[in-house]
């Protein structure tokens, strides 16, 4: 099974090329969903898909698919290799892009080797996986898997009031296909780990067997603006102070839990946001994650109780908007075993692990057997321009993907 290997130089060149698309004057990489930068990235991917001789299909949510028809039995359900090419702000070049480009590389390698799959192989790039511009994250695959209505997703509004639907039309990626038009036989996603485990333990391949639950909220705390110099501390209704207490509460809740619970406040703004005005309003986001659903619910309940008590103590009002809520997902054990076998047959170390990050695979697991392959992230850094994975680890991950896809695509049933 290991006779074939991908063309790593071609893969690395494309990762670098895509990684240059969407940089600002300071060199920061940002390709938010349905932005002009996203369009430029999509255009590059569409070009590579066509050059590879695949059929390009785009669905109504802008999800992109490169379809390689198999033998004459191409009406069999396809093997889908997916991920995303949208990024966070000031991003690295591997998150999502590695999986999509490695999938394309796998198809081109198989085609060049005259491998004739028993079923089509499809490379997918899902819209708005990051959820930075439009919530929730993994939106494209969530809609594709039937977890969110197409029209509801297209009506999502960004901070400037632009709907996703209008933006996809503006950049030319409001496709015709209905999301879900291809129901995969299996879904496999190659991705950088984005955490420290593989790098720290010197392990080449992560065979991802499950993915933790995610709970996103936006919180608005309403206090009263007042003069920073004349208002005694006891008379303040300080939305900024109350928000700071929530940040500290969440940190201590997660850090103090005898569990892998994590909590993040990634966005925060005050209004009127002036040096000498006590904040009237604080708007911020909460990202809570936990592999165990019962513990995630406990953390959500503890947060809710704390916010109720805090509103009372600080004489502020607190409104909470739920942005995303995904339960933990368990991947398909047969595919996880295939990943381990493929790694071992290539002499690569492998370990089973949980994904700390959200991925499109967690949505596609609602449609078909799904699993993920991880490669190490140097120092566990991601969502950061310092994100890096060594060429050897990138090639190893892509070759394991090649072997697993070959097996899945040869399945007759
Ligand atoms: O939020 C996540 O875990 C992913 O990067 N969208
Ligand atoms: Mn990703
Ligand atoms: Mn990401």
Please state, in angstroms and rounded to a whole number, the distance separating the CA atoms of residues 75 and 306. Answer: 54
pLDDT at 1: 46
Pairing of strands 281-290, 79-83: unpaired
Any ligand 1 atom below 6 A from CB of 137 = yes
Ligand 1: residue whose CA is nearest its atom 2? 358
Please state, in angstroms and rounded to a whole number, the distance separating the CA atoms of residues 343 and 221. Answer: 50
Other Cβ atoms less than 10 A from the Cβ of 264: the count is 15
Q: What is the pTM of this model?
A: 0.93
Please state, in angstroms and rounded to a whole number, the distance separating the CA atoms of residues 190 and 340. Answer: 13
Query: Which is it for the CA torsion 77, 78, 80, 85, positive or negative?
Result: negative
Q: How far apart, in Å, do the first and last CA atoms of the chain sit? A: 20
Using the mean position of ligand 3's atoms as its centre, give its distance from the Cα of residue 350 in Å: 23
Ligand nearest to the CA of 84: 2
Pairing of strands 370-375, 205-211: antiparallel
Please state, in angstroms and rounded to a whole number, the distance separating the CA atoms of residues 44 and 125. Answer: 12
Q: Which of 189, 285, 359, 362 to mutate to test the pocket of ligand 1 (most atoms within 8 A of CB)?
A: 359
Using the mean position of ligand 1's atoms as its centre, give its distance from the Cα of residue 136 in Å: 10
Ligand nearest to the CA of 85: 2
Domains present along the chain, CATH in parentheses: 8-212+328-409 (3.40.630.10), 213-326 (3.30.70.360)
Please state, in angstroms and rounded to a whole number, the distance separating the CA atoms of residues 134 and 155. Answer: 10
Ligand 1: residue whose CA is nearest its atom 6? 130
Please state, in angstroms and rounded to a whole number, the distance separating the CA atoms of residues 412 and 339. Answer: 19
Please state, in angstroms and rounded to a whole number, the distance separating the CA atoms of residues 290 and 263. Answer: 9
Provide the 8-state DSSP code for 205.
Answer: E
Task: Check: CB of residue 333 under 8 Å from CB of residue 209.
Answer: yes
Using the mean position of ligand 2's atoms as its centre, give its distance from the Cα of residue 200 in Å: 20
Task: Check: CB of residue 51 under 8 Å from CB of residue 111.
Answer: no
Pairing of strands 350-355, 205-211: parallel
Q: Reduced to 3 states, what is the DSSP secondary structure of residue 298?
A: helix
Ligand 1: residue whose CA is nearest its atom 4? 358
Q: Which of 329, 358, 382, 384 to mutate to test the pocket of ligand 1 (most atoms within 8 A of CB)?
A: 358
Atom of ligand 1 nearest to the CA of 382: 5
Please state, in angstroms and rounded to a whole number, the distance separating the CA atoms of residues 59 and 128. Answer: 13
Structure tokens at 227: 């003069």
Ligand nearest to the CA of 91: 3
Any ligand 1 atom below 6 A from CB of 129 = yes
Using the mean position of ligand 3's atoms as its centre, give its distance from the Cα of residue 133 in Å: 13
Q: Calculate Rg over the CA atoms of the chain.
A: 23
Q: DSSP labels for 225-267?
A: -EETTTS-GGG---HHHHHHHHHHHHHHHHHHSSS--EEE---
Q: Which helix (H) or strand (E) holds 67?
A: strand 64-68
Any ligand 1 atom below 6 A from CB of 358 = yes
Using the mean position of ligand 3's atoms as its centre, give its distance from the Cα of residue 85 in Å: 10
Write the Ramachandran bin of 312: left for phi over 0, alpha for psi from -120 to 50, otherwise beta: alpha
Structure tokens at 401: 């993907």
Structure tokens at 98: 């590695």
Using the mean position of ligand 3's atoms as its centre, give its distance from the Cα of residue 72 in Å: 38
Using the mean position of ligand 3's atoms as its centre, give its distance from the Cα of residue 189 in Å: 13
SS3 content of the chain, % helix, strand, coil (to 5): 35, 25, 40
Q: From residue 141, how far is each of 97, 147, 165 by CA, in Å? A: 15, 9, 16
Atom of ligand 1 nearest to the CA of 95: 5
Atom of ligand 1 nearest to the CA of 129: 6
Q: Which of 126, 137, 266, 290 to mutate to test the pocket of ligand 1 (most atoms within 8 A of CB)?
A: 137
Please state, in angstroms and rounded to a whole number, the distance separating the CA atoms of residues 66 and 411. Answer: 20
Task: Check: CB of residue 214 under 8 Å from CB of residue 324.
Answer: yes
Could you give phi then psi for residue 206, rounded to 5 degrees?
-100, 125
How far out from the chain centre does Cα 175 lie?
A: 21
pLDDT at 70: 64
Any ligand 1 atom below 6 A from CB of 357 = yes
Ligand 1: residue whose CA is nearest its atom 1? 358
Any ligand 1 atom below 6 A from CB of 130 = yes
Q: DSSP labels for 48-65?
A: HHHHTTPEEEEBTT--EE
In tens digits, the chain (413 residues) has pLDDT values of 457 999 999 999 999 999 999 999 999 999 999 999 999 999 999 999 999 999 999 999 999 999 998 656 568 999 999 999 999 999 999 999 999 999 999 999 999 998 989 899 999 999 999 999 999 999 999 999 999 999 999 999 999 999 999 999 999 999 999 999 999 999 999 999 999 999 999 999 999 999 999 999 999 999 999 999 999 999 999 999 999 999 999 999 999 998 999 999 999 999 999 999 999 999 999 999 999 999 999 999 999 999 999 999 999 999 999 999 999 999 999 999 999 999 999 999 999 999 999 999 999 999 999 999 999 999 999 999 999 999 999 999 999 999 999 999 988 77
Using the mean position of ligand 3's atoms as its centre, give its distance from the Cα of residue 206 in Å: 17
Q: Which helix (H) or strand (E) holds 153?
A: helix 150-154
pLDDT at 208: 98
């Amino acid at each position: 099974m290991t006779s074939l290997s991908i063309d790593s130089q071609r893969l690395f060149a494309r990762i670098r090329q895509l990684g240059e698309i969407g940089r600002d004057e300071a060199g920061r990489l940002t390709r938010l969903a349905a932005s002009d930068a996203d369009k430029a990235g999509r255009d590059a991917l569409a070009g590579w898909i066509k050059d590879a001789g695949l059929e390009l299909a785009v669905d109504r949510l802008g999800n992109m698919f490169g379809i390689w028809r198999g033998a004459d039995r191409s009406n069999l359900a396809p093997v889908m290799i997916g991920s995303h090419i949208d990024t966070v702000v000031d991003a690295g070049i591997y998150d999502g892009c590695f999986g999509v480009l490695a999938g394309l590389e796998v198809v081109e390698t198989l085609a060049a080797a005259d491998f004739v799959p028993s079923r089509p192989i499809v490379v997918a790039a899902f819209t708005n996986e990051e959820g930075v511009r439009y919530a929730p994250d993994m939106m494209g695959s969530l809609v594709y898997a039937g977890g969110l209505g197409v029209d509801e997703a297209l009506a999502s509004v960004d901070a400037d009031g632009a709907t996703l639907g209008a933006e996809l039309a503006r950049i030319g990626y409001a496709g015709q296909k209905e999301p879900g038009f291809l129901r995969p036989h299996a879904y496999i996603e190659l991705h950088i780990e984005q955490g420290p485990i593989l790098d720290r333990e010197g392990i080449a391949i992560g065979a991802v067997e499950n993915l933790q639950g995610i709970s996103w909220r936006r919180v608005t705390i309403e206090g009263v603006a007042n003069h920073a110099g004349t208002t005694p501390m006891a008379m303040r209704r300080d939305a900024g102070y109350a928000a700071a207490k929530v940040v500290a509460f969440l940190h201590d809740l997660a850090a103090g839990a005898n569990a892998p619970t994590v909590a993040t406040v990634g966005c925060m703004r005050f209004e009127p946001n002036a040096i000498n005005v006590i904040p009237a309003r604080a708007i911020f986001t909460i990202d809570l994650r936990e592999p165990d659903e019962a513990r995630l619910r406990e953390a959500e309940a503890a947060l809710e109780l704390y916010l109720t008590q805090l509103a009372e103590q600080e004489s502020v009002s607190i409104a909470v908007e739920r942005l995303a809520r995904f339960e933990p997902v368990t991947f398909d054990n047969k595919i996880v075993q295939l990943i381990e076998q493929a790694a071992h047959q290539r002499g690569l170390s492998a370990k089973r692990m949980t994904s700390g990050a959200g991925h499109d695979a967690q949505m596609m697991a609602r449609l078909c057997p799904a699993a993920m392959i991880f490669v190490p992230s140097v120092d566990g850094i991601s969502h950061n321009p310092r994100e890096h994975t060594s060429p050897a680890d990138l090639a190893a991950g892509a070759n394991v993907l090649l072997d697993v896809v070959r097996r899945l695509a040869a399945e007759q049933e």
